[in-house]
Amino acid sequence: MKLLHDSWLVCARAMRPLWRSPMTLAFAMFQPVLFLVLFGPLLQPLGDRFGAPDGNSWQFFVPGLLVQLAILSPGMAGFGVIFEHRSGVIERMRVTPLSRTALLLGRVAKDAVTLIAQSALLVVAGALFGLRASVPGALLGLLLIGLVAIALAAVSNAVALRMLDREWMFAPTMSQISVLVVLLSGLLLPMSLAPDWLRWLSMANPLSYVVDAERALFAGRIADPVVLTGSLVAVALTATTVLWGTRTYQRQDS
Domain borders along the chain are 2-36+59-250
Assign 253 a pLDDT band (cuts: 50, 70, 90).
low
Q: Assess contact for 46 and 57: CB atoms under 8 A.
A: yes
Assign 7 a pLDDT band (cuts: 50, 70, 90).
confident
Q: What mean pLDDT, rounded, does the chain reach?
A: 83
Assign 36 a pLDDT band (cuts: 50, 70, 90).
confident
What one-character-per-residue DSSP string does 19-56 give? Answer: HH-THHHHHHTHHHHHIIIIIHHHHGGGHHHHT-GGG-
Among candidate residues 139, 79, 69, 65, the one with its CA nearest the CA of residue 107 = 79
* pLDDT attached to residue 252: 62
Q: Assess contact for 226 and 191: CB atoms under 8 A.
A: no
Which tens digits make up the pLDDT trace of 185-242?
Answer: 888 887 877 888 888 999 999 999 999 999 999 988 899 999 999 999 999 999 999 9
Give Cβ neighbours of residue 128 (< 8 Å, ≥ 6 apart): none
Of the chain, the percentage scoring pLDDT greater than 70 comes to 86
* pLDDT attached to residue 166: 77
Question: Rounded to two decimals, what is the model's pTM?
Answer: 0.85
